[in-house]
Structure 1
Amino acid sequence: MIIYFVLLVMLCLCNTYLLERHKRSWIIDSFDLVEEHPGPFPYDMGQITLDRNYLVEFVLKGRGVDVDPKGVLSINPNTGVIKVHRKVDFEEYKVLMLTFQARNKSNLAVDTQLGMEVKILDINDNPPVFQRKVYDVSITEATKQGSFLVGVLAIDNDAQGTLNSTIDYKIISVTPRTKNAEFYLQDSGTISFKGCLDYEVANKYIITVEAKDRGEVVKLSSTATVIVNIIDGNNHPPVITGQTGSGIALEETTGISPLAIHTRDADTRNTAAWMASYSIQGDKGGHFSIRTDPETNDGILTVVKPLDFEKQAQQSITISVENEEPLYSCEVKERSTSGLWTIISHSAKKSTQSINITVEDVNEPPYFSEPVRKIVIEENGAVGAFVDKVTALDPDTHRLNKLEYAIKQDPAGWMTINPTTGEVSVKEPLDRESSHVTNGTYTVTVIVTDKENPKMTSTATLQIYVEDKNDNVPLLKDSEVSVCQSEEISSTEITAHDLDGDPYSGPFSFELKEMLRKNGASTRATNLSVAACDCSVSPSCLVERQVQKKAGTGVYGTAIFASLLVFALLLLAFTCSCGAVNSLAQVEDVSQDALLSYNIEKLGTDCMHHTSRWKQSLYRTDSRLKDSTLSRKTSERNQNMYSISQSALQSLLLLRLHSLQSLENELVDYEPHLYALEDISVNFEDLDPIELPRNEFNPELLSDLGPAFRNLASIVTSRKAE
């Protein structure tokens, strides 16, 4: 055992206090301890001594004494000898840090305190260990020599940078050994090979690798296994062996497969080295494509663009095949002792097959060179006028098919076509304002049919732009308008429209029929109903009529009755006179036994009363009529009759009321005459006499009169008797 003991003494002097004495401090740098010492234990590692004229006691604390790893070291408190009691592992503890103290035995004061290190010296007690016991990799046989295959790595836990942890790698064995491939290992642990790999010779290699350190006393080592799996590469080219199928393709048909190409390949089935990839040469029109059947590796030829028998009845193409994985070859030419070997490769030609495809003729449909034609025709043209000529072509020129034309779609039935020549002519005059014309354009569809079996057809479209003519007179948008009655001039707006287009659709001028001038323009006399309304009563005559038209069937009788009643009242109102009257119409009945009193002795005495009463009666009648009208439903006939009669009556009544109001304003006020009522016993001698026409009076009528008339009759009878 070699023990190194180094003592460093430092004396610190204070320049400020020269007379003050300071104790000296001792620092022990380090001790060395060899790991895994075989013993026997305990043994002395070293001794610490101090130059004192008094007795001291030594104390040692820290890692290795009272801190893990505990119990490795101890110190004699009197002599300062340090002993080792057991082994220490370098891989676990590389240094032990401790504290040394010297105390004065007289007062146990600390005299000296030192820092102390014990270094553990490594020995080669750990072999290199691989990260994995088995390395398993897979490479293709087309891998080039010198390529990286796998890297192995071993780790030694001995002191780094020493011979004990320096590792050397070496290949111990390779199974199987082949003459065209040799594996080698670099110092870094990288494995590669020289030469050529051949799946058919060896599809797996097992390599044993050793890692050994360089320990001076003893060298330690370990091994690992490397498995290299070889994946079959494409070193056998595919070869076309033949074809099956009719080799016939129908013209104007796609999706058919006229034949299949068969191929043989010696590489492993269902790998990229075996899977065939086909290509087509000589297909200038791009009519064919070819795909690989994943089960059989056959090439399936398919028509993707229609063929044309009339252009080319026979198609010649070439099919070639290769693998999905590029083809390679490897041959060892020279083996050298250092560096890579010399190898050569051979290129292989693609396997090809010439194919002839026969195009079979079929009946193709005729076609229009101009499927859409645009034509301009004036409306109202002559029947039989030429419109256009449509011409279809038949691609089967060798068949000499006859074509027949017909109208497929003619919404208004204005056109006809010659079935042989395709000439389209006018059958009925065109009307631009027809609902079949959209934005001035009339569309006709023509169909052509060949006479082969089966028959083939094609269509063309004629877009006929119909030029407008001024063949429509303007029309009023509304046949009824209303104006408000007023002392000033009233007006209403009249609008018109014309079915013709610009410039024949406006502007318009309006004149009354009596003032209409013969100016050559397109004119039309139209009846216009004008309703005059009292806007203070009803804002619009037309709105009121529309409301009235919604009346029910039960209102019809009410309307007739109201009309008759109003006419009777009007007639009675017109008989009202502001002068003297000597006769009175016969009264057959008075409702509710009431006698209407009339004063006909004075000028105009009856006009004021009658005017007021007729106003009230008319307004009440009109109000009842409106309420009844709005409450029920009616038929269209009753609505029209009621609307006409009501409107006429209302207008007439309003005119009559206006005249009565004017007359009433001119009349003077008067005191009304008091007449006796029934059941009042007074003298009736002051009553004005009532004369009845003798030839029209029937005394029996008096029996049905009320009390007032009976009293009046008794007075008249008594006066006649006198």
Structure 2
Amino acid sequence: MCKILLFFMFSAYKTASIKQTSTVKHLTHFIFYVLQKRRCMLIPPLFVPENQNVPFPKLIFKSDFAKENTMIYSMKGEGADEPPVGVFIIDKNNGAIYVTKPLDRETKDKYVLTVHAVAANGEVEEETTEIIIFVIDGNDNKPIFTQNPFLGSVAEASPRDFEFMVANATDADDPDSDHADIRYSIISQTPPQPDPNMFIINPITGGIRVNSDELDRETYPEYILLIQAADMMGDGLVTTGTAVITVTDINDHAPQFEKTLYTASVPENKVGSVVVKIPVTDGDDPQTPAWTANFRIFSGNSGGFFSISTGPNKQEGIITTVKPLDFEQTNKYTLLVITENDVPFAKPLPTSTATVIVNVQDVNEAPVFDPAETIISKPEDLEVGTELTVYTATDPDTARAQTVTYRVSNEDRSGWVSIDRDTGLIRVKSSMDRESPLVKDGKFKVLILAVDDVPATGTGTLVIELEDVNDNAPVIEEREITVCSKNSVPVSLSVTDEDGSGFAAPFTVELHEEILFPLVPAVF
């Protein structure tokens, strides 16, 4: 029955307001009246405020039960005879309980003790009774930020109400009381431009949100907020901290050419030649994909003569030639160049363009034989002075009036041909010989030079296929032979002819002088 009454009594104390001391006192008297009739001692839960500034020891419980019963009281447990020892004491004669010093709820919020009552005659007449002492919280701890400063970042042009970081604090006071009910606010913003209220903070959660459409990293890359945390729902103890906000870059600035028109000159025929370097500027964060420029030739490069690449500093386009340019075909190109970034624009932006006019510089080019190698067939026994062919070259430099002259290369060791200096007419200069070591496979090659006024020299090759004629007699290799008059045997002769197959074997061999024995004519 005592346990049932204890539960009832504890519930009553938990639901009753601490300030209603009169009600609690009457309730306590009522409970002890009931317990007295039951011969049972039961002490209700006690509530003691922390940090009391009063004379100690201070009475926290006095029972009327001891007035009608002569008892000896003792108390055990944490805070009595166990560490911390002596926080609570009990009067052994009347059972009054005292607290001896200020309590700290944050150190210990509850004490559980046992009270033992023994009859004065030494006989135990009461059971041991448990007493619970709750330490009532006082607002003695101000909020503490979990870090200071708070570091956060937010992309420029973020929308309003976008929450990007949280600043929070803790309070060591009772979490179920207003003493730990924290509210947050922003005290100041540095810099205050372009709006002193660029950010707002959720007063309950501490979430920091964007409150403006004017975040611009290029103008204000960082903000420092002085933030406040106050308990008692904002009306209690206060602490301050800072939030450092970095405004991060987005690609909200297109690269811009420093000029819209560039003029450059490049020699014809040069591959890999740098035509022009065209710099740009970009307002975004340097060395980021939103800042690095890319380039492309939008028009004017149908022949694929040019390419454009990004320079080492990431802020210039370099146009180079990738095919030989020909002044005589096209002496000027107009290129339209566009620049963009490594990453797409965060919002629609106008693209910067530049026009590049490339003037092709004329370079003196050597005369060109067409074809580069010409082949003719002629008998090898042509008379000196015979015309062989006309072999001429043209000068590609049509913008220049130049005279082309011709000569046989000094590398020619035969001296068989000559060429007219002005007309390119080639004649036989000395007798040609198909059987000469200078002739390979019946073909004789001679290098012809064409020289313009600068001078620049072009070359062409004349190939003469020499037609064979019978201009070489057969030769018997054995200049002497010995034949015995008795028991003679036939002797074979070796005959050669330097002419081709049409003018060589078969050969006929016969004697031209009288001999003492017959010679049988033979055909080889």
**Both proteins in one fold, TM over 0.5:** yes
Aligned equivalents of 2:447, 2:275: Cα separation in 1: 31
Once the two structures are superposed, what CA deviation does each residue of 1:504-526 show, in whole Å capped at 9, x if it has no partner?
A: xxxxxxxxxxxxxxxxxxxxxxx
Aligned equivalents of 2:396, 2:153: Cα separation in 1: 66
Question: What amino acid is aligned across from residue 153 of structure 1 in structure 2?
Answer: N
Instruction: Please state if 1:183 is matched with 2:199.
Output: yes
Instruction: Please state if 1:193 is matched with 2:211.
Output: yes
Match of 1:220 among 237, 261, 285: 237
- Kept after mapping to 2: 8 A contact 1:272/1:323: yes
Residue 122 of structure 1: CA displacement?
0.9
Give the number of the structure whose alpha-carbon radius of gyration is greater.
Answer: 1
Assess, with a 3 A threshold, how the Cα gap between structure 1 residues 153 and 291 changes in structure 2: closer, same or farther: same
**Which of 1 and 2 has higher RCO (CA within 8 Å, sep 6+)?**
2
Once the two structures are superposed, what CA deviation does each residue of 1:550-601 show, in whole Å capped at 9, x if it has no partner?
A: xxxxxxxxxxxxxxxxxxxxxxxxxxxxxxxxxxxxxxxxxxxxxxxxxxxx
Instruction: Please state if 1:246 is matched with 2:262.
Output: no
Higher strand share: 2
Residue 109 of structure 1: CA displacement?
5.1
Match of 2:135 among 106, 120, 126: 120
- Kept after mapping to 2: 8 A contact 1:366/1:449: no
1:206 aligns to what?
224
Question: What amino acid is aligned across from residue 38 of structure 1 in structure 2?
Answer: N
Aligned equivalents of 2:460, 2:173: Cα separation in 1: 95
Once the two structures are superposed, what CA deviation does each residue of 1:198-223 show, in whole Å capped at 9, x if it has no partner?
A: 4565444332211112269x721111
Aligned length: 363
Once the two structures are superposed, what CA deviation does each residue of 1:258-287 show, in whole Å capped at 9, x if it has no partner?
A: 222233456676666654322222345655
Once the two structures are superposed, what CA deviation does each residue of 1:321-364 show, in whole Å capped at 9, x if it has no partner?
A: 234465568xxxxxxxxxxxxxxxx7323223244364978789
Residue 291 of structure 1: CA displacement?
2.5
**Mapping for residues 40-51 of structure 1, pairs under 5 Å:** 40-48=55-63
1:164 aligns to what?
179
Aligned equivalents of 2:460, 2:42: Cα separation in 1: 117
Single out whichever of 140-149 and 88-97 deviates more from structure 2: 140-149
- Kept after mapping to 1: 8 A contact 2:254/2:350: no
Assess, with a 3 A threshold, how the Cα gap between structure 1 residues 81 and 356 changes in structure 2: closer, same or farther: same
2:351 aligns to what?
349
- Kept after mapping to 2: 8 A contact 1:174/1:205: yes
**Mapping for residues 53-92 of structure 1, pairs under 5 Å:** 55-92=70-107
Assess, with a 3 A threshold, how the Cα gap between structure 1 residues 80 and 296 changes in structure 2: closer, same or farther: closer
Aligned equivalents of 1:39, 1:328: Cα separation in 2: 67
Q: Which runs of 5+ in 2 are unaligned?
A: 1-17, 373-393, 398-403, 407-438, 451-456, 462-524
Aligned equivalents of 1:123, 1:220: Cα separation in 2: 12
Assess, with a 3 A threshold, how the Cα gap between structure 1 residues 420 and 149 changes in structure 2: closer, same or farther: farther
Aligned equivalents of 2:369, 2:236: Cα separation in 1: 94
Structure-2-length-normalised TM-score: 0.56
1:594 aligns to what?
none
Question: What amino acid is aligned across from residue 280 of structure 1 in structure 2?
Answer: I
Structure-1-length-normalised TM-score: 0.42
Aligned equivalents of 2:359, 2:308: Cα separation in 1: 14
Assess, with a 3 A threshold, how the Cα gap between structure 1 residues 200 and 262 changes in structure 2: closer, same or farther: closer
**Mapping for residues 561-572 of structure 1, pairs under 5 Å:** none
Once the two structures are superposed, what CA deviation does each residue of 1:74-124 show, in whole Å capped at 9, x if it has no partner?
A: 111121111111111111111111122223444465841122211111122
User: Partner of 1:164: helix, strand, or coil?
Assistant: helix
Match of 2:144 among 121, 126, 129: 129
- Kept after mapping to 1: 8 A contact 2:292/2:314: no
Aligned equivalents of 1:228, 1:182: Cα separation in 2: 11
Residue 317 of structure 1: CA displacement?
3.3
2:297 aligns to what?
280
Match of 1:155 among 159, 164, 170: 170
- Kept after mapping to 1: 8 A contact 2:326/2:360: no
Q: Structure 1 segments of 4 or more deviating over 6 A?
A: 8-11, 51-54, 359-368, 396-401, 448-452, 454-457
User: Partner of 2:212: helix, strand, or coil?
Assistant: strand
User: Partner of 1:197: helix, strand, or coil?
Assistant: coil
- Kept after mapping to 1: 8 A contact 2:194/2:214: no
Residue 71 of structure 1: CA displacement?
1.9
Residue 140 of structure 1: CA displacement?
5.1
Once the two structures are superposed, what CA deviation does each residue of 1:437-458 show, in whole Å capped at 9, x if it has no partner?
A: xxxxxxxxxxx9997858799x
User: Partner of 2:138: helix, strand, or coil?
Assistant: coil
Aligned equivalents of 2:281, 2:124: Cα separation in 1: 101
Aligned equivalents of 1:200, 1:278: Cα separation in 2: 23
Question: What amino acid is aligned across from residue 262 of structure 1 in structure 2?
Answer: P
- Kept after mapping to 2: 8 A contact 1:128/1:155: yes
User: Partner of 1:263: helix, strand, or coil?
Assistant: strand
Once the two structures are superposed, what CA deviation does each residue of 1:630-689 show, in whole Å capped at 9, x if it has no partner?
A: xxxxxxxxxxxxxxxxxxxxxxxxxxxxxxxxxxxxxxxxxxxxxxxxxxxxxxxxxxxx
State the Cα RMSD in Å.
4.8
Question: What amino acid is aligned across from residue 150 of structure 1 in structure 2?
Answer: M
- Kept after mapping to 2: 8 A contact 1:212/1:222: yes
Residue 42 of structure 1: CA displacement?
1.4
Assess, with a 3 A threshold, how the Cα gap between structure 1 residues 119 and 266 changes in structure 2: closer, same or farther: closer
- Kept after mapping to 2: 8 A contact 1:57/1:105: yes
- Kept after mapping to 1: 8 A contact 2:50/2:136: yes
Assess, with a 3 A threshold, how the Cα gap between structure 1 residues 250 and 56 changes in structure 2: closer, same or farther: same
Aligned equivalents of 2:286, 2:198: Cα separation in 1: 28
2:515 aligns to what?
none
- Kept after mapping to 1: 8 A contact 2:182/2:233: no
Q: Which runs of 5+ in 1 are unaligned?
A: 12-22, 330-345, 369-395, 402-414, 422-447, 458-722
**Mapping for residues 127-526 of structure 1, pairs under 5 Å:** 127-139=142-154, 141-179=156-194, 182-187=198-203, 188-191=205-208, 192-199=210-217, 201-214=219-232, 219-230=236-247, 234-235=252-253, 237-241=255-259, 242-243=261-262, 245-248=264-267, 250=269, 253=271, 255-265=272-282, 274-282=291-299, 283-284=301-302, 286-295=304-313, 297-304=315-322, 306-307=323-324, 309=326, 313=330, 316-324=334-342, 347-356=349-358, 358=360, 417=441, 419=443
**Identical pairs, percent:** 24
Aligned equivalents of 1:152, 1:365: Cα separation in 2: 84
